[in-house]
Amino acid sequence: MGRWVKAADTADFASLPADSLSLAVEAEGYDIVLFKLPGGWGALDDTCSHEYSKLSEGEVWDGRVYCEKHGSSFDCRSGEVRGLPATEDVQSFAVEQRGEEIWLELPDYA
């Protein structure tokens, strides 16, 4: 079981362009991309497993994020690879909305 930390406010998404569904955040040393999705939220490591580009700079369609560098795609909730050339999943994080705040569960310290 990990520890829960506040990562953002829902208002942070309101300041983005209307078609933007993702937000890059830093939480205790982790670079994470948050996704506002139908029915909830997703959170992934912000680094593509193929060639280490920022997933927060990619496009989001139908619950997938597409890396802008080579088009690899990942499920926005689970981090599972959904399209090549990536072959390794990216780390996902439990995420929940508490009032107007977005919270993430990060791994316990070693």
In this structure, what CATH number is given to the domain that contains residue 35? 2.102.10.10
The mean pLDDT value for 38-55 works out to 95
Q: pLDDT value at position 19?
A: 72
Query: Residue 92 has what pLDDT?
Result: 98
Task: Provide mean pLDDT across the span 58-83.
Answer: 96
Give the pLDDT of residue 105: 97
Locus of tokens 């919270």: 103
* Span 14-31, average pLDDT: 88
Report the number of distinct structural domains present in the chain: 1
pLDDT band at residue 15 under the 50/70/90 scheme: confident
* SS3 assignment, position 40: strand
What backbone phi and psi angles, to 5 degrees, belong to 68? Answer: -75, -20
Is residue 42 over pLDDT 60? yes
